[in-house]
Structure 1
C-alpha cells in the first residue's frame, strides 16, 4: 500500500461522552492512527469531555429547551467546521439523526470540501425500527439531503453497504472494517463465564441470550452468565425480571466497565456472546477475539469470519438457535475453546490493526479529494 501524502482531516461525531458507545472508541482510535501516519487529524464532538490534543470539544447550545437538547445544537462546532473546511480539510462524519451529523455536509457544500459519511449502523433495518417516526421526519427535513452531499460513504461491512444502497444513496462506498488494539497478556485458563458486554438495549437481543441460557443452564452447572454494561430506558430491570420469571440460574449483572477492568472481564470469560438484532460491525466481538476469547455472534452483525477463521460461531437469530449454539460451545473441551481464542486473536492482529485500517482510510480521503487513484475498497454504484 502506497503511503498517502499528509492531509488535513476531521472526524465529526455527535458525542463521545458515553465511553461505552462503539464510536467513542472507534472514531478516536482511527483519528489517533491517522496522526501516527503523519496526517493532521482530530475528533470534533459536542459534550462535556475535557479537550486534549487531537480532541476538540464544543459546547451544546439551547440545552435547556427539551426538543433542542435532544438535537445537540452547537454553534461552536458549526463555526469550527466552516473554518477547517475552508482550509481544505476532508470532513468525515460519523453517525446520523442529530444536528452534528448534518453540519459537516453544510460546511462541505459551502467550501467544496470532500465529505465522507459513516452511518455507523444507523441505516440498518433493526436500528431504523427504534423511534421510526422521529427518524422519518428528520430524514425528510435534513438527513437525506446531508447524505446526498457525500463524496463517498464508509461502511464497516458489505451488509452496511447494502443498507446504504437500500436507503437510495448512490455515492461510492468504501468498505473498511473498524480496527482493534491487541492487548498484552493471556485469558484465564479454564474460565467458566459466558460474557455479554455492551449497552443494555433491546436491539442487542440480550433477552434471547437469557432465554437460551435458561434452557441449557442445568446441563452446564459450572458455568455462569455475566451481563455487563450501562442500562438504557430501564432495560436492565426488564432483563432481571426475565431472569426471575424463567428461573435462569447463575446470572450476574454489572454496570459499565472501562480500561483495565473491561479487559479483565474479557480475560476472565471462557466465551463471549453478542446476540444482537443488528450491528454495522460489533466492536465487542473484535475486543473479545483480541483478548483471546472465542465468540458467538448472531447474523445481525457481519461476523461470518468467526466460522471461516475457526474462532467462534455465527448463528441464526432467536433463543432456540442461540441455545443450540451455546450448548455446543460449552460442551467443547477447554483446550479446543482456547485454541479458537488463539486463532481469533491472530486474525485480529493480522487484519484489524489500526495503522493498516487508517492507511486504507487515508487512501479513501486522498481519492475523495482528487489526489489519488480509487482504492480497491471503494465500490461504485
Structure 2
C-alpha cells in the first residue's frame, strides 16, 4: 500500500513536538510492515534539505510564517501543490491536521480530488475564540472533517471537541504507539550521579518553571544530582533563564535549548528520571519515549497517561505544581531500587499496551476500508 502522511512541520531543532513524532513513528512502523510510505511536511532550518529524517523517507517543502519561528500563520504552498499531485497515486492520504495553512489546504486539495484520506488532529482542532478560527472553519476545517473517511481522536475530550467543530464525522479512536528500542541501563546503576530531565517546549502548559523550582527544592537533599532542561523557547525562555540564574545551582541546573530530533533519544538515555510537570497534557509522546527506554517518569494528575503510569508503577503521578512534583521525584531519587523497578515496569507497559504493532494493524484496516468506500 502506498501511503502519504502529511504533517505541518519538520525541523532540525525539533520545535514541532508531538504530532510530528507520532507521524514519524507511524511511518517507520508502516514501512517495517512492508508499505511504501512518505512523510510530507513543511520545514525550515535545514541546509541541505534531507530526504530522510529519523529513518523515514520525507519530502520537505519550505514553510513560512508571518513571525519567524512562530507557528501562527504557518504556510507552505509548495507542499499543498505536491500533495494535490502525489495524492492522486496514493492508496491513502493521512493528514495530521492543525488549523494552519499547511495541513488544512493539503487536506482540502485531497478532498477536492476525491481521493481517500484520513485525519488525525492531536487535540489541535478544538472550538476556539481566535478571530482567525472562524474563517478557517467556514472555508476549510468543517469541509475536510466531514469529508474524511475517518477522523482519528485520542481522548474522549478530543472527540467531544471535534463534534463541536463539525458534524457528522466518521470518528475512530486511535491511540499513540511507540517502538521498543534496545534496553539501556539507568546511568546511576553504573555509579554516575543521577540526572533528572525535562525535555519539552519551554512554554506555559509544559510548566518549565515548576521544573526549575523542583530542582531548587531537591538540590540540597541530593547534592550530586544534576537537572537538565532541553527544548525550544516558546514564550517562557527569559523567565526560565532568570529563574535558573537565581537558583545559584550553577551547572547542576542547565537549559540546553532545542536538540535535533536524532539527539533526543540520547538525552533520554543519559537521564535516570524523566519529568513532565505540564498540565492537561493529553498523551505526551515524550513520556512514551522515556518509558520505552526504561526510564521512570513523573507526570501530573491531569496527564492523559497518568492512569497507566499509576497502575503499572512506572514512576509517579503528582499533584500539579512544584511541591507535588518535587515530592514524587524525591522519592525516586532516594530509592535506587525503586528507580530500577519503575524503569523495568515502563518498558513492560510499552511492550504490552503501548507498542506500535496494534496501531499499525488498525491503520492498515482503516486505510483499506476508506479506500474501498471511496473507489
Pairwise TM-score range, normalised by the shorter structure: 0.7 to 0.9
| Counterpart residue number, 1:179 | 177
Aligned counterpart for 2:369 among listed residues 362, 367, 370: 367
SS at match of 2:9: coil
Please give the alpha-carbon distance, in whole angstroms, between the structure 2 residues aligned to 1:204 and 1:98.
22
The verdict on how the C-alpha distance between 1:76 and 1:236 changes in structure 2, with shifts beyond 3 A counting, is closer
SS at match of 2:188: coil
| Counterpart residue number, 2:301 | 299
The verdict on how the C-alpha distance between 1:241 and 1:146 changes in structure 2, with shifts beyond 3 A counting, is same
Please give the alpha-carbon distance, in whole angstroms, between the structure 2 residues aligned to 1:64 and 1:302.
31
The CA deviation at 1:285 is 0.6
| Counterpart residue number, 1:317 | 320
The CA deviation at 1:84 is 3.4
**Structure 1 stretches of 5 or more lacking a match?**
1-6, 373-381
The CA deviation at 1:240 is 2.0
Aligned counterpart for 1:164 among listed residues 153, 162, 168: 162
Q: Is the 8 A contact 1:154 1:175 kept in 2?
A: yes
Please give the alpha-carbon distance, in whole angstroms, between the structure 2 residues aligned to 1:268 and 1:256.
16
Are residues 1:56 and 2:59 paired? yes
Please give the alpha-carbon distance, in whole angstroms, between the structure 2 residues aligned to 1:328 and 1:57.
45
Please give the alpha-carbon distance, in whole angstroms, between the structure 1 residues aligned to 2:227 and 2:50.
36
Aligned counterpart for 2:7 among listed residues 7, 13, 17: 13
Q: Is the 8 A contact 1:17 1:24 kept in 2?
A: no
* 1:71-150 equivalent positions in 2, closer than 5 A: 71-87=73-89, 89-123=91-125, 132-136=130-134, 138-150=136-148
The CA deviation at 1:337 is 1.2
Greater CA deviation, 173-182 or 160-169? 160-169
The CA deviation at 1:42 is 1.3
| Counterpart residue number, 2:18 | 22
| Counterpart residue number, 1:37 | 33
Please give the alpha-carbon distance, in whole angstroms, between the structure 2 residues aligned to 1:159 and 1:91.
25
TM-score if structure 2 supplies the norm length?
0.82
Q: CA RMSD in A?
A: 3.2
| Counterpart residue number, 1:376 | none
Greater CA deviation, 65-74 or 89-98? 65-74
**Structure 2 stretches of 5 or more lacking a match?**
none
For residues 152-185 of structure 1, the C-alpha deviation after alignment (integer angstroms, 9 at most, x for no partner) is 2122344433443454554233322223233323
Q: Is the 8 A contact 1:16 1:23 kept in 2?
A: no
SS at match of 1:231: coil
Please give the alpha-carbon distance, in whole angstroms, between the structure 2 residues aligned to 1:293 and 1:66.
37
For residues 228-279 of structure 1, the C-alpha deviation after alignment (integer angstroms, 9 at most, x for no partner) is 122234x232112123446667322213334674333323322110111233
Q: Is the 8 A contact 1:294 1:344 kept in 2?
A: yes
Please give the alpha-carbon distance, in whole angstroms, between the structure 2 residues aligned to 1:209 and 1:136.
36
The verdict on how the C-alpha distance between 1:155 and 1:224 changes in structure 2, with shifts beyond 3 A counting, is same
The CA deviation at 1:24 is 3.3
Greater CA deviation, 30-39 or 73-82? 73-82
Q: Is the 8 A contact 2:154 2:174 kept in 1?
A: yes
SS at match of 2:303: coil
Please give the alpha-carbon distance, in whole angstroms, between the structure 2 residues aligned to 1:246 and 1:77.
45
Q: Is the 8 A contact 1:294 1:340 kept in 2?
A: yes
Are residues 1:290 and 2:292 paired? yes
TM-score if structure 1 supplies the norm length?
0.81
Q: Is the 8 A contact 1:273 1:295 kept in 2?
A: yes
The verdict on how the C-alpha distance between 1:42 and 1:330 changes in structure 2, with shifts beyond 3 A counting, is same
The verdict on how the C-alpha distance between 1:85 and 1:244 changes in structure 2, with shifts beyond 3 A counting, is closer
| Counterpart residue number, 1:239 | 240
Please give the alpha-carbon distance, in whole angstroms, between the structure 2 residues aligned to 1:24 and 1:277.
21
